[in-house]
Amino acid sequence: HELQSPPGNTSINSLHGPTRKRQRRKPQRTTLLQPSEARHRITSVHRRHIPRPIHHHHAVKLLAPSPNSSPPLRSRRPPPPTHTYTQIQHTHRRRRAHTHAPTTMSDHARSWFAVPAPVAALFRRFPLAVYPANDLPLRSPSRADLPTLYVFVADDDASRGRPSFNPSCLKWQTFLKIAGVEFRILPSTNHASPSGALPYLQPPFPVRPVAGAGRLEVYALDNSLLPAEKRPPPPAPSDRVRAYESLIDTRLRTAWLHALYLAPDNAPLLSRLYLRPPSSSPLVRLALAHQVRSAAEAEVLKSTRSALVEPARIYADARAAFEALAALLDENTGVGEEDGPWFFDSPRPTLFDASVFAYTHLLLDADFGWLDTTLPQILAGFPGLVRHSERLLERFFSDDEGVIV
């Protein structure tokens, strides 16, 4: 057979198709992988070459292979791990750290807090003078472990432990002294009291304040420093005691409210005790005066059960109350200690004696400042009550510095 070439300029190679050129393989470039991609690739490579666990029945086959079986294939070695972008950046930072020394915190501190040279020279020439500490105010507590009784009292009287100018406060101030409780007093207002009314006692921290008649009496009897035979006897509840207590809480209190708050002549005394200390503003004092007088008038009308304030009736009831108390005290003449009789056949003064003293002392005090002396003159007509007040004053308030006798 003869090979005949096809017509035209056609070669033999064209019959077998186009000639393929031999292509070179391009070298693989090493690319920097992101941390997430590198971690995924390394994990997949290692998983591919991790040998499977050999179980017991597989081990038997490996130990005794068949003669026709092919030799086991050798596993390829895993490629070296690719360096991540984070590792390369960390290497560059370490190289730069050796060339540039870091600035320490001490250098920053010296730059911010260093005293300038002119200022330092000025202070070396004129050194600082340290003055001695100032003395504490007179009203500051001398001992922090003493309970504090907050009452209505002037600042000068509080530092010396003098009697309060409020009957309710003076009652408990006197009874704490009778019970032998060591305490100090500080001036305060009703707004600072937990119960909304003075007095209240603040024991050493962290005990809560003691407010209210019942709680104050229990605290005084439980914290007495006197021996058992010298302490005031506990109250004996009886109808007779309650009847005389009602004379003090109604008739004497009503006469006190009228004499101090509603009597026109005693307006300067009211201003000195309750209106001037809270504020120096005339408008505030005027509003406060209207407020306290309205409250006192409401209490007087409530106690007398009358539509109008009748001063003659109020002072007549007060005279009858003083007369009943004087007769009760005269019944106990010769009973008690050497300094005189006390109420209800008690050998020592009790809470009832403190309740009577809270009114009689303030009415008989010559320095209190009464201008309308109607109520003090009524009390002066009962010598037994006058001597009772003088005995308690001399026994528990004889020292102006507030030291308990």
Q: What is the mean pLDDT of the chain?
A: 79
Domain ranges across the chain: 148-230, 240-397
The pLDDT score that the predictor gives to residue 87 is 62
pLDDT tens-digit readout, 249-297: 999 999 999 999 999 999 999 999 999 998 999 999 999 999 999 999 9
Q: What integer is the mean pLDDT of 230-234?
A: 81
3-state secondary structure of 134: coil
The pLDDT score that the predictor gives to residue 129 is 75
Q: What is the 8-class DSSP label of residue 2?
A: -
Global pTM? 0.65
* HEC assignment per residue over 312-326: HHHHHHHHHHHHHHH
pLDDT surpasses 70 at 222 = yes
% pLDDT > 70, the chain: 66
The pLDDT score that the predictor gives to residue 65 is 52
3-state secondary structure of 310: coil
164 touches 173 (CB < 8 A): yes
pLDDT tens-digit readout, 31-48: 555 555 555 555 554 455
d(CA 266, CA 259): 7
d(CA 273, CA 70): 118
Residues in the chain: 405
The pLDDT score that the predictor gives to residue 20 is 54
* 78 compared with 302, residue with greater pLDDT: 302
Range in 45-54, 78-87, 175-184 the model is least confident about: 45-54
The pLDDT score that the predictor gives to residue 164 is 96
Q: What integer is the mean pLDDT of 138-154?
A: 78
Q: Are strands 184-187 and 148-151 parallel, antiparallel or unpaired?
A: parallel
CA distances from 276 to 154, 267, 284 (A): 11, 12, 10
The pLDDT score that the predictor gives to residue 72 is 54
pLDDT surpasses 90 at 213 = no
Q: What integer is the mean pLDDT of 88-95?
A: 63
Q: What integer is the mean pLDDT of 229-240?
A: 79
pLDDT surpasses 90 at 76 = no
Structure tokens given for 350: 């009790």
Residue type, 33: L
**CA 161-164-165 angle, 5° bins:** 145
